């Protein structure tokens, strides 16, 4: 189960990132680099992790006109990361353009194509916030709709709450990837997440990868927390 755990590097400097990676050692092979760390380090966090033999999920959630997203995705493909993402809300054309650009960039440099994920609805959004946005219906129905749209556009999978994982799996099949943030081991604080689940619950619902940040990076013993989460996933 180790390869299905992605640790989110909630850090704003190279030194803070390196401290986390050093503390976790060989217990973690896959890391998520989000906007805070990527922007703070000028993107240098990515090659640093790759040189250390780690896999990287670059979580920048692109959302713009199709041409801009396509060109940006082509550039990011050259970094050598394992996963890239964008917002499904950008539409079918934007997602298709991204897939085309990544395919072309990968073929051009002879590298393995990174997996492409579409973000459905952020796990920080609950039903009250959903209504504040004047969005129709329930969050779950929209998440499944966006997942199906992403699949139609050629995305490899989606980023979605573990609470919607089972519905996405039923709608999109066994091969479609579901990457779930909002994972909280038993006894952990919810923080700013709304639609959450335990590691065991997320895997049972059909999640492919679990993204866990603060419960690990903020733990007194991060390595022990990693093993606890992997144990829950294995259960």
Q: What is the DSSP string of 122-165?
A: -TT--HHHHHHTT--S-HHHHHHHHHHHHHHHT-SEEE--GGGH
Q: Considering only CA atoms, give the Rg of the chain.
A: 17
Distance CA 145, CA 68 (A): 24
Distance CA 163, CA 139 (A): 10
Phi, psi angles (nearest 5°) of residue 144: -65, -40
Span 160-174, average pLDDT: 95
pTM for the model stands at 0.93
Q: How many domains, the chain?
A: 1
Span 180-191, average pLDDT: 73
Would you state the pLDDT for residue 1?
65
Distance CA 150, CA 49 (A): 28
What is the per-residue pLDDT across 97-146, written as a single tens digit (0 to 9) for each? Answer: 999 999 999 999 888 999 999 999 998 898 889 999 999 889 999 999 99
Distance CA 36, CA 90 (A): 22
Averaged pLDDT score across all residues of the chain: 93
At residue 188, does pLDDT exceed 90? Answer: no
Would you state the pLDDT for residue 3?
87
Domain CATH for 115: 3.20.20.70
193 annotated to bind ligand: yes
CA distance to 39, 189, 214, 232, per residue, from 196 (Å): 27, 11, 14, 15
Would you state the pLDDT for residue 149?
98
Decide: helix, strand or coil at residue 13: coil
Q: Which of 123, 117, 99 is nearest to 57 (CA)?
A: 117
At residue 55, does pLDDT exceed 80? Answer: yes
Would you state the pLDDT for residue 185?
81
Span 64-81, average pLDDT: 98
- Catalytic positions are 59, 61, 64
92 annotated to bind ligand: no
The residue range of the domain holding 205 is 2-234
132 annotated to bind ligand: no
Beta-strand (E) ranges in 136-232?
157-159, 177-180, 209-212
């Amino acid at each position: 189960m180790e390869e299905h755990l992605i640790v989110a590097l909630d850090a704003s400097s190279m030194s803070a990132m390196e401290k986390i990676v050093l503390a976790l050692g060989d217990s973690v092979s896959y890391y998520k680099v989000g906007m805070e760390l990527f922007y703070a380090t000028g993107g240098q966090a990515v090659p640093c992790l790759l040189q250390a033999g780690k896999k990287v999920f670059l979580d920048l959630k692109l959302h713009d006109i199709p041409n801009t997203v396509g060109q940006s995705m082509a550039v990011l493909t050259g970094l050598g990361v394992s996963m890239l993402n964008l917002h499904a809300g950008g539409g079918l054309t934007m997602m298709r353009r991204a897939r085309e650009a990544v395919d072309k960039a990968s073929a051009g440099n002879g590298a393995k194509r990174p997996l492409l994920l579409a973000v459905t609805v952020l796990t920080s959004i609950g039903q009250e916030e959903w209504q504040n946005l004047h969005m129709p219906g329930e969050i779950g129905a929209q998440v499944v709709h966006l997942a199906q749209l992403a699949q139609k556009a050629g995305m490899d999978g989606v980023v979605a709450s573990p609470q919607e994982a089972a519905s996405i799996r039923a709608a999109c099949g066994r091969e479609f990837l579901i990457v779930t943030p909002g994972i909280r081991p038993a006894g952990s604080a919810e923080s700013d997440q709304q639609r959450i689940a335990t590691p065991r619950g997320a895997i049972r619902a059909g999640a492919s990868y679990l993204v866990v940040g603060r419960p690990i990076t903020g733990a007194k013993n991060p390595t022990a927390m990693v093993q606890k989460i992997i144990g829950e996933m294995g259960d």
